[in-house]
Structure 1
Amino acid sequence: MSTAATTIDHLLDTLAALPLSARKMFGEYALYLDGKVVALVCDDQLFVKATPGAVTALPSTPLGAPYPGAKGHLLVTDALDDPDGVIMALRAVAASLPPPKPKTKPPKGP
C-alpha cells in the first residue's frame, strides 16, 4: 500500500510553520527540512527520525519501522492533534543531522 497525496497535503498544511517539502520515493514519501530527510510517510503514517531531541519533544510516542528492516522511528499519530510538539521534534532532527552533501556534476566527456 502506498501513501496518498492527500495525506502529504494534510501533513504539510498541519505543519505549515516549517518550510517542509515532500519527495515521492517508491510510492512513499520523505519529508525534508533544510535539505535533510527528517521524516518518512509510509502507508499514510508519519515516522519521525528518533534522534534524542525528537524523543525529548515527543516522549510518549511509540517506535515503529516505516518499512521492513528500517531503524526505529517515532510513529506519530495522536501528536498531530497538537502539532507544536511535532514541529519541535522535526526541528530537533534537522539540527542534529549533518548538512546535506553537495551534489557533484559528472565530468564532461572529451
Structure 2
Amino acid sequence: MATEKEMNELLLENVDKDKVRTRKMIGEYIIYYENVVIGGLYDDRLLVKTTKTALEELHRNPLVSPYPNAKEMILIADFTQHENLTDLFKTIKEELKK
C-alpha cells in the first residue's frame, strides 16, 4: 500500500516548510530536515529514525519496520497531535550528524 498524497500534504502543514521537505519514492515519501533523511511516510504512517533523544521522547511509541527486512523506526501514530514535529526532526538530524 502506498502513502496517499493527502497524508504528505497533512504532514507538511504541521512542520516548518523552510526546514522540512519530502520526496516521493516508490509510492512512499522520504522526509528530510535540512537535507538529512530523518524518516518517512510509509503506508500512511509517520516513521522517524531511532536516535537516543527520539527514543527517550517517544518511549511509548512502538518500533515498526517500514517494509520487510528494514531497520525498525519509531511510529508516530497521530502526528497532528504531536507538540512540535519540526523540533523533533531537528533533534533527530543533529544526532544523526554526530
Per the normalisation by structure 1, the TM-score is 0.79
* Shift of residue 79, structure 1, vs aligned partner: 4.9
* Identity %, equivalent residues: 31
For 2:91 and 2:18, the matched residues in 1 are separated by 12
Q: Deviations over 1:41-95 (max 9, x none)?
A: 11100000011111122221110011111111001113531332x4333122100
Per the normalisation by structure 2, the TM-score is 0.88
Q: Say what the alpha-carbon RMSD is for the aligned residues.
A: 1.9
For 2:87 and 2:58, the matched residues in 1 are separated by 9
Larger Rg: 1
For 1:63 and 1:87, the matched residues in 2 are separated by 20
Gaps of 5+ in 2: none
* Equivalent residues, number: 98
| Structure 1 residues 64 and 51, CA gap change in structure 2 (3 angstroms) | same
Gaps of 5+ in 1: 100-110
For 2:39 and 2:46, the matched residues in 1 are separated by 7
- Name the SS for the 2:47 alignment partner: strand
* Structure 1 segments of 4+ aligned residues over 3 angstroms from their partners: none
The answer to whether structure 1 residue 64 and structure 2 residue 60 are counterparts is: no
